[in-house]
Amino acid sequence: QVRLVESGGGLVQAGASLRLSCAVSGRTFSTYTMAWFRQSPGKEREFVGAINWSGSNTLYADSVKGRFTISRDNAKNTVALQMGSLKPEDTAVYYCAARFGSDAYSDQNRYDYWGLGTQVTVSS
């Protein structure tokens, strides 16, 4: 059983930075590709970024490219999302997701395990 728990959400002003973290249970964390998705009220869940098992390959949505950075620590079974230059449109519940395999995908249907999410609110 794989369990994902997100943390680090909160209320910040536009232009601020915030760091989300996702703790993953399971001994084979290093074999998972990890990703972050987000969902705003009334909208579909959308891809934010993904990182492959080794951290050598990352993938980002155009809307966050250059502002957000995804990283992982395989020794600590964690993946982080560093968010900078936050905008009100970044307001959403942010979800951590995991899949077995070495490739990073933006398609949420490729991911097998999900956390419950953490709320990020950016005020203008």
Cα distance between residue 89 and residue 81, in whole Å? 17
Read off the pLDDT of residues 14-25 as tens digits, 9 standing for 90 and up: 999 999 999 999
**In this predicted model, what pLDDT tens digit does every residue of 83-104 receive, in sequence order?**
999 999 999 999 999 999 888 8
**Cα distance between residue 96 and residue 108, in whole Å:** 11
Can you give the pLDDT at residue 117?
98
Distance of CA 36 to the CA centre of its chain: 2
Supply the pLDDT for residue 124.
94
* Phi-psi category of residue 32: left, alpha or beta, with phi > 0 → left and psi -120 to 50 → alpha: beta
Compute CA 69 distance to the chain's CA centroid, rounded to the nearest angstrom.
9
* pLDDT score recorded for residue 56: 92
Each residue's pLDDT tens digit, 52-87:
999 999 999 999 999 999 999 999 999 999 999 999
Position 26 pLDDT exceeds 80? no
Closest CA to 20 of 34, 41, 40, 2: 34
Q: Which residue's structure tokens are 């579909």?
A: 44
CA distance 54 to 6: 20
